[in-house]
Structure formats: C-alpha cells, structure tokens
Amino acid sequence: METKPMNPSLGLADIPSGYLNIMGYVDKSEVNGPGCRAVVWVQGCNRECSGCFNPDSWAFEINDLVAIDTLAESILRNPHNTGVTFSGGEPFWQAPALTILAKKLKAAGLNIMSFTGFTLQQLQSNSAPPGAKELLAELDILIDGPYVKSLAINSPDSPVSSSNQRVNIFNPEFADKITWASDQIEVHILKDGNRIVTGYQGLLELS
C-alpha cells in the first residue's frame, strides 16, 4: 500500500509560484460562513483529526494545481458571492498563496474567512507557518482550533463544531453575522467525481 506524505515540507516545495494545491473548490455554499460564499479546500493537513469530513485532504501531495489568478476569476464570476472561505486541509500551510488570492478578492469587495487547526496564538508566534501573519491580516473571520470529536457540539446554535474552537472576528461588521446554521451539511461532487462534505455536524450527529 502506498504511503502518502504527511510532512508539509514534502509537498509544499512542489507547488509552483503563483499556484495553489487544492483538494477542491465550489462557487456557492451557505454553510461555511455568512451569506453565499465560494469555498476553497486546500490540499494537505498533518493533524488527522478523528471525525474529519474530508480525510482525502490530508496528504501533502499534488492534487489539483490551480493558478491564483484563475481561481480568483472563477470566484468573482458568481455575482451572488459575498465572500470566500478557506478550508481544507490546513489553509495556513499555503498562507503566502492564499494571501495573494485574498488581496485580489478583497479588492473586488469580497470578505475573507478561514478555518484552521492552529490556534490564533500559534499563528501569531514565531513558529507559525511561513506567511501566517500576512494571511491573518487579510481575514475578516477566523475559526481556529482543531476539530476534537470528544468535544463535539451538537447544537444548531453553535457556529463551531467542537467546544475548543473559537470564532475570531477581525472585522466588526461581522460581529452580528455569525449566525449560519450549524446543523446543516452540503455534499458537493467535484468535476473529477470526488465528493466533498462540508458544513457542521450539529444535531445530525454524523459518524
């Protein structure tokens, strides 16, 4: 059986400048932040959280290389989108490229949200992944902390999936907009036939 690399350094070096290595992308979601949003799932995460919706996003191997400019154009093509959410995988392992993408989208009027398995304090520390502070500066909302199955919150009123996670609001405009349903999921079928499950387990109590 082939062992897929779980060390970030094994896969990140293979990503060309100006590109992102993604697991998938959808141009419309209503369970990944306020309003109608595009969602980008990056490839690569070394946490292997039990209960993760998308374990196919863990391996640090080239999956789908997409040019940042091409992805920005795709996101902006949907006039209903008010923002974009970065998920994964672990977005902050590709922070420099996501920062470039975020700047392009913010210039066009979209808001930016990201999930991360790191804590905010870790991302602000000297041991953070390269480019973490620059990406933080572009975010309006950050959901931080790994998903911990034993701390799962089965409530439709919670915007996070486990009690260790926190909603960090960097843009005060969103202080009263953290109201998306936490008991809904979406299933997206990608162009290659793979499936992405996204949203929150909430009252569904999925295994």
- pLDDT per residue as tens digits for the range 18-37: 999 999 998 888 778 888 99
CA distance 134 to 102: 10
88 within domain boundaries: yes
Overall domain count for the chain? 1
Q: What percent of the chain has pLDDT over 90?
A: 53
Q: What is the pLDDT of residues 174-207, one digit of tens each?
A: 988 886 655 566 665 666 666 666 665 443 332 2
Q: What is the pLDDT of residues 62-87, one digit of tens each?
A: 999 999 999 999 999 999 999 999 99
170 within domain boundaries: yes
1 within domain boundaries: no
36 within domain boundaries: yes
Residue 1, pLDDT above cutoff 70: no
More confident residue, 119 or 194: 119
What's the confidence (pLDDT) of residue 194? 67
**What mean pLDDT do residues 115-131 have?**
96
What's the confidence (pLDDT) of residue 178? 80
- What distance lies between CA 185 and its chain's CA centroid? 15
119 within domain boundaries: yes
12-16, 108-112, 186-190 — which is least confidently predicted? 186-190
- Rounded to 5°, the CA angle 132-165-21 comes to 40
**What mean pLDDT do residues 152-166 have?**
77
> Domain holding 117: CATH number?
3.20.20.70
How does strand 19-29 pair with strand 111-115? unpaired
19-28, 49-58, 98-107, 193-202 — which is least confidently predicted? 193-202
Residue 56, pLDDT above cutoff 90: no
168: domain range? 8-204
pTM of the model: 0.83
Q: What band does 3 get if pLDDT is binned at 50, 70 and 90?
A: very low
117 within domain boundaries: yes
For residue 37, the cross-strand partners are 29, 83
Any idea of the CA torsion for 89, 54, 52, 71, to the nearest 10 degrees? 40
